[in-house]
Amino acid sequence: MLSFLNPILLLGILGISIPIIIHLINKKKAVSHKFAAIDFLLETNKRILIKYKIRQRILLILRACLLLFLALSLAKPFIKNSGGSAEEKNIPTSNVIIIDDSFSMRYSDRHESFFLSAKTAAKQIVDALKKDDEAAVITCSSQEFQIPPELENDKKHLLNVIDRSQPSFMTTHIAHALDTAVEILATARTSVKRIFLLTDMTRNGWDPHWFKSGYEKLRRHVSRMHILDISEGKTLKNIAVTYVKPQITLSEKNLEALIKVTISNFSSVPVKDLPASIFVNGKKLSQGFFNIEANASETKEFFITVEKGKDYYGWVEIPEDNLFVDNKRYFTINAPQTIDALLIDGDPKTNIYESETFYLEKALNPGREHISSIKPSICSVHEINNITFANFNIIFLCNVETLPPEKIHELEKFVQEGGSVVFTLGNKVNADYYNNALSSLLPHRLHSIRTFSSNSSLSEEQPLHLKATERVHPVVRILSETQINTLSTVKFYRIFYIDPNPLGSCKTIFSFSNDTPALIERQVGRGKSVLFTASIDRDWTDFPVKSFFLPIMQQLCRYVTGSISEEISQEILVKQVWRYPCPYDINTIEITNSEGTQTIVQPQFDDNEKYFEYKETDTPGIYAVTANGRLHPQFPAYFPVNIDTAESNLEKIDQNEITAFMGGTKLSMTAVRVSKESDVLLGETKKTFWGYLLFLTFCVLFVESFVSRK
C-alpha cells in the first residue's frame, strides 16, 4: 500500500500549472515574410516552426516533471507491507525483539554487516512503539548464559540495550531465544504478545527437534511472530577454514610437525588457486593453493620443523571474504621434550624375552615403527652404584629385591627434588623390606601376595581384571573409549595386597575388579612416586601384551615427569571450558586471552581431583598460560580457541519449513534491505523511495538546462 510521511507537501504538485501558464503566455507564432526573393525559404520556415514547437513541449514536460518529482520526494512516499491486524494497533502490546548475534551475522556484502542492519531494524521497531506498549530486547546466540530481561516501556533504555549489543563468535540458537521470549511473554498482562526475530535465516540456527513441542508454547503465549530476513533473501556464499590438526612426527635428529588443513567452499561456484598461509609464532612459514569444487572441501598437509621441548602457536589463514571470521583458524604445537628413564631390572634373564624390563622398554620406545620421546636405559641392581639418578627424569624399580642404603638415600633426594620413581613388584619383592627401607617413597605399605586361578591349582577364584578408577585422570584420559571398555580383558593371576591406610597424599589411578588398588600415585616433595601392585612382565599377568599397555606406560611417564602438556591438545571452541589438572605446588595460574586481558585462575576440587577451570573463552585466538608470571613445565604455554564452523555453512532455510515449524502460530516473514531509508514498523515493513525521486529531480533539472540552451 502506497502512503506518504508528509502528505501535506503533495500540494506542491499544483506547481505543475506554473510552467503550463508560462508556456501559454509566452506562446509565439512564427513570422512569415512575403518577399519574392525568398520564396524558396518558405519550406525552411515550416521546418523551423515544427522544431520550435517540439522543443517547447519537451521543456514544458520536463519542467512539469521537475516540480512533480520534487513535490513527491518532499512528501516521502513509501510502500507498506502490513503484518498485523487492525485490532493489534489499537490496544497495548507486549513485544520481545530477538537479535541474531551469531557470527554469521558479521556477513557483509555492502557497506555494513547484517548485524548492524539488525540493530537498525530493532531501533525502528522500538521507535514505533506506542506509549502503552512494552518490550524487551534479547540476543539469539547466548540465551543459555543470560538472565531473561523484564518487559519495559522505557524506549531510551531499550535503545541503549540495542546500542550496547555486539555480534558474538557463537553459533545461532534460535530455540534458546524463543524459549526465553516465551518465558518473558508468559508473565505479560496484555492480550497481544509478539515476537520479532531479526536474523539472516541460515539453516544452522533452526532446531527442528525443539519445534516438535516448542510450537505449542508459541501458540499458547504468542499472538504473532514476525521474522525479518536481514539478508534480503539472498543466497549467501562463504569459504572457511574448517579444520586444522597439528601432529608431531618424531625422528632421530629433529621433530617435524604435520599440519592437516581443510578448507570448505559453501557456495555453488568452484574456487580455484585459493592461497592458504601457515603462520607459526607470528611468522609466515608455508603457503599452499586450494582448488575446491562447489559445496565441497579439500584437505592438504603442510610440514614444518620444530624444536624439542618448545611450545608453538600458529594459525591458518585465507584471504578475507564477506564473512571474514572463519578465514583464520588457530592451533598450538607442544613439541615433546626427551624423557630419560632408568629401568632397574631386578630379575634379568639370559633370554631377553623373559627379562623383567623387556615389555616395559618396548612400550616406552617401540623402535623403528614409532620413534618415542622417551629414552629408556636398562641396568641391573649390580650396576646401580655406577649410575647417578639425577641424570634421569624417572626411575623404574622392576621386581628389585634390595638397594644399597646410599642409593636409597639418593633416590629419596631425587624424588624430593622433582624426580619420579615407579615401583613394579614380583616374586623377589619382600614386603617387610620394602615397608621398612622404602616407606618414605611407597604410597601404601605392602601386605601379602594373593594368587588367583587360571592354570594354577592354588585357588578356586577367577583371575582379576583391570578398571579405571578415575576417568578424568591424565593417565586414563589418553585412552579411547574402546580401550577403556577393553581394560576388563586383562587377566591378573597374582597381585600384592596393600595396607588400606596411605602413607601420604595418594590417588588410585587403576584398580582391580575386586576394587583392590592396582596403580597408585603419591606426591613426595616436588616429585611423584607410583606403585604398581603386580609385575610388569608376564609372570603374573598378560597386561604387557595388550594394545593399551603402550599408551598407558608412555602417558604415565609423561604425567609423573610433568611433560604431559603435549598430549592435551584437544581443540577448545568458543564458550567451551578449558580444564587442566593442577600440580600440587601451584596455587594460581594466569591466562591471557587473545585480546591481551589477563585472568587469575584459582584451582577447584571435584571428587578429590584438583584442577584449573577457565570459562572466559569468548573470542577465538591464542590463549597464553603462565604460573607466577612464567611458563611452567606442567602446563602448555598456549591453547587455541576456535569458532564452531557449523555456522560457516550459510545455507538458507525455506520459508515453508518455518511455517510448518510454527504449527499454526500467526506468522509474517519479510525479506527487505534495512537501512536508514527503509523503516521497520510493528508488524509491518515500509520501504521509502523518496531518495530515488530526488535523484530523478536532479536528472530532469540537468536535462532541462541542456534543452533550454538549444
In angstroms, the Cα distances linking 121 to 151, 288, 523 are: 19, 42, 61
- For residue 606, report the phi and psi dihedrals to the nearest 5 degrees: -150, 115
Q: Calculate the CA dihedral of residues 679, 682, 684, 688 and round it to 10 degrees.
A: -20
Residue count of the chain = 710
Question: How far apart (Å, rounded) are the C-alpha atoms in residues 69 and 690?
Answer: 9
Residues 6+ away with beta carbon under 8 Å from 227: 197, 199, 201, 658, 667, 668, 669, 670
Cell of 107: 556477513
* pLDDT on residue 78: 63
* Residues β-bridged to residue 312: 333
Is 689 a residue whose pLDDT tops 90? no
Contact 414, 395 (CB under 8 A): yes
**Half-sphere CA count of 690, side-chain side, radius 13 A:** 23
Q: How confident is the model at residue 567 (pLDDT cuts 50, 70, 90)?
A: very low
Cell of 34: 512575403
Q: How confident is the model at residue 39 (pLDDT cuts 50, 70, 90)?
A: low
Residues 6+ away with beta carbon under 8 Å from 296: 264, 265
In three state form, how does the secondary structure of 263-294 look?
Answer: EEEECCCCEEEEEEEEEECCEEEEEEEEEECC
Report the percent of the chain where pLDDT is more than 90. 48
- For residue 177, report the phi and psi dihedrals to the nearest 5 degrees: -65, -40
- For residue 210, report the phi and psi dihedrals to the nearest 5 degrees: -65, -40
Is 581 a residue whose pLDDT tops 80? no
Average confidence (pLDDT) over 236-262 = 83
Is 16 a residue whose pLDDT tops 50? yes
As a whole number of angstroms, the longest Cα–Cα distance in the chain is 152
- The model's pLDDT over 149-160, given as tens digits with 9 standing for 90+, comes to 899 999 999 999
Question: How far apart (Å, rounded) are the C-alpha atoms in residues 198 and 334?
Answer: 43
Average confidence (pLDDT) over 256-281 = 94
- The model's pLDDT over 628-652, given as tens digits with 9 standing for 90+, comes to 888 877 778 899 999 999 999 999 9
Backbone region of residue 295 per phi and psi (left: phi > 0; alpha: psi in -120 to 50; beta: other values): left
Question: How far apart (Å, rounded) are the C-alpha atoms in residues 198 and 208?
Answer: 19
Q: What is the mean pLDDT of the chain?
A: 84
Cell of 228: 525479518
Q: How confident is the model at residue 661 (pLDDT cuts 50, 70, 90)?
A: confident
Q: How confident is the model at residue 144 (pLDDT cuts 50, 70, 90)?
A: low
Cell 568452484 locates to 270
Q: Which of 349-358, 396-405, 600-609, 678-687 has the highest mean pLDDT?
A: 396-405
Lowest mean pLDDT among 243-252, 522-531, 599-608, 682-691: 682-691
Q: How confident is the model at residue 401 (pLDDT cuts 50, 70, 90)?
A: very high
Q: Which amino acid is located at 524 in the chain? A: V
Is 454 a residue whose pLDDT tops 60? no
* pLDDT on residue 13: 66
Q: How confident is the model at residue 99 (pLDDT cuts 50, 70, 90)?
A: very high
Question: How far apart (Å, rounded) are the C-alpha atoms in residues 399 and 426?
Answer: 5
Contact 106, 118 (CB under 8 A): no
* pLDDT on residue 272: 95
Contact 527, 416 (CB under 8 A): yes
* pLDDT on residue 226: 92
3-state secondary structure of 127: helix
- The model's pLDDT over 203-236, given as tens digits with 9 standing for 90+, comes to 988 988 888 888 888 888 888 899 999 988 889 9
Contact 429, 494 (CB under 8 A): no
Lowest mean pLDDT among 173-177, 294-298, 562-566, 642-646: 562-566
Q: How confident is the model at residue 568 (pLDDT cuts 50, 70, 90)?
A: very low
* Residues β-bridged to residue 278: 286, 316
Buried b (16+ CB within 10 A) or exposed e, 486-518: ebeebbbbbbbebeeebbeebbbbbbbbeebbb
Question: How far apart (Å, rounded) are the C-alpha atoms in residues 119 and 229?
Answer: 13
DSSP for 370-434, please give it: B--SEEEEEEEGGGGGG--GGG-SEEEEES-----HHHHHHHHHHHHTT-EEEEE--TT--HHHH
DSSP for 617-641, please give it: --S-EEEEEEBTTB--TTS-SEEEE
Contact 494, 461 (CB under 8 A): no
Beta strand 134-139 pairing with 93-99: parallel
Q: Would you say the pTM of this structure is higher than 0.75?
A: no
- The model's pLDDT over 496-534, given as tens digits with 9 standing for 90+, comes to 999 989 988 888 999 999 999 999 999 999 899 999 999
* pLDDT on residue 366: 83
Question: How far apart (Å, rounded) are the C-alpha atoms in residues 264 and 696?
Answer: 45
- For residue 512, report the phi and psi dihedrals to the nearest 5 degrees: -85, 170
Q: Which amino acid is located at 630 in the chain? A: R
**Radius of gyration in angstroms for the set of CA atoms belonging to the chain, rounded to a whole number:** 39
Number of C-beta neighbours around residue 337 at 10 A = 18
Cell of 65: 516533471
Question: How far apart (Å, rounded) are the C-alpha atoms in residues 140 and 181?
Answer: 10
Cell 569458532 locates to 643
Is 562 a residue whose pLDDT tops 80? no
Average confidence (pLDDT) over 173-182 = 90
Residues 6+ away with beta carbon under 8 Å from 444: 498, 499, 500, 501, 502, 503, 506, 517, 520, 531
Question: How far apart (Å, rounded) are the C-alpha atoms in residues 514 and 467?
Answer: 10
Which tops the pLDDT comparison, 179 or 76? Answer: 179
Q: What share of the chain is helix, strand, coil (3-state, %, to 5)?
A: 30, 35, 35
Which tops the pLDDT comparison, 687 or 326? Answer: 326
* pLDDT on residue 421: 96
Burial (CB < 10 A; 0-12, 13-18, 19+), residue 277, is middle
- For residue 222, report the phi and psi dihedrals to the nearest 5 degrees: -125, 125
